[in-house]
Amino acid sequence: MKVFLIALPAFAFPSLAAMYLPTSWADSNYIFWSLDIFFRVVIPLLCLFMLSKKGTGLTEFGLSSPIRRYSVPQFLALCFVCALGFLSYIVVDNIARTFFPSAVDVGYLKMPTGASGLFVSAYYVAASAFFEEVFFRGVLGYVLLVNRKLIWIVAYISVSAFSFVFAHLVTDPASIVALSYLGIGSAVLYVALRNIWPLVIAHAINDTIILGWLQLVGHVGTV
């Protein structure tokens, strides 16, 4: 429980910041991304630092080298399987929207133009993939997967999926269904693998494709 309380700011602050960010600040590209870095990267890093000071190593959150457990071909195969699982989220999202046709995703992301835009996109994908997997899968896994009993596994998968959906601040049914699917699937994969890296890589691939798609449909603006 102490680990969860120390890590709690990494779960809560990004969502709260997005919810209460003043419109005038959100309109400023530099302020918006500076705050995003603070809440998405700095606070989680501080939480991980505090946890390490309490004697909890990063390997206990699934950050151990995968090569120690898997050969390189096995690791690449795992990344491929995880990537397919993450990309199936897009299919589930489209199916969900056929059942909830009135649901409209109003999310809008502002990106700089040129080289700055590529840098910000790379940061956004890498930071989201790494820290979301570490905290929503690794840290929660350390707290809840105290043994292999089914009740703890179910509790972990449920809490991981719920907190993952909540952190994305979605309200339309289609997004909730799709993100729940993604959260449950990722948690199940972590239970099987007990290693974060294949999930991080798959998450990054998924976010890169989704970011490109959002750019095409006009949900990513340039300033």
**Residue-by-residue DSSP string for 50-86:** HHHHTT--GGGGT-S-GGGTS-HHHHHHHHHHHHHHH
Q: How many domains are contained in the chain?
A: 1
* Across 177-188, average pLDDT: 87
pLDDT exceeds 70 at position 15: no
φ, ψ for residue 57 (rounded to 5)? -80, 155
* Across 143-164, average pLDDT: 89
So what's the pLDDT on residue 214?
66
Both tokens of 60, joined, read 């206990």
pLDDT exceeds 80 at position 89: no
Q: Is 220 helix (H, G, I), strand (E, B) or coil?
A: strand
So what's the pLDDT on residue 157?
93
Q: Name the burial class of residue 35, with classes exposed (0-12), middle (13-18) and buried (19+) by CB atoms within 10 angstroms of its CB.
A: middle
Which range marks the domain in which residue 19 is found? 2-222
Answer with the residue of higher pLDDT: 166 or 13: 166
pLDDT exceeds 50 at position 106: no
Q: Name the burial class of residue 218, with classes exposed (0-12), middle (13-18) and buried (19+) by CB atoms within 10 angstroms of its CB.
A: exposed
The string of pLDDT tens digits covering residues 26-85 is 566 777 778 778 888 888 888 888 888 877 777 888 887 665 667 777 777 878 877 887
pLDDT exceeds 70 at position 151: yes
> What is the spatial distance between Cα 14 and Cα 37, in angstroms, rounded to a whole number?
10
Q: In the structure, what pLDDT confidence band is assigned to residue 221 with cuts at 50, 70 and 90?
A: very low
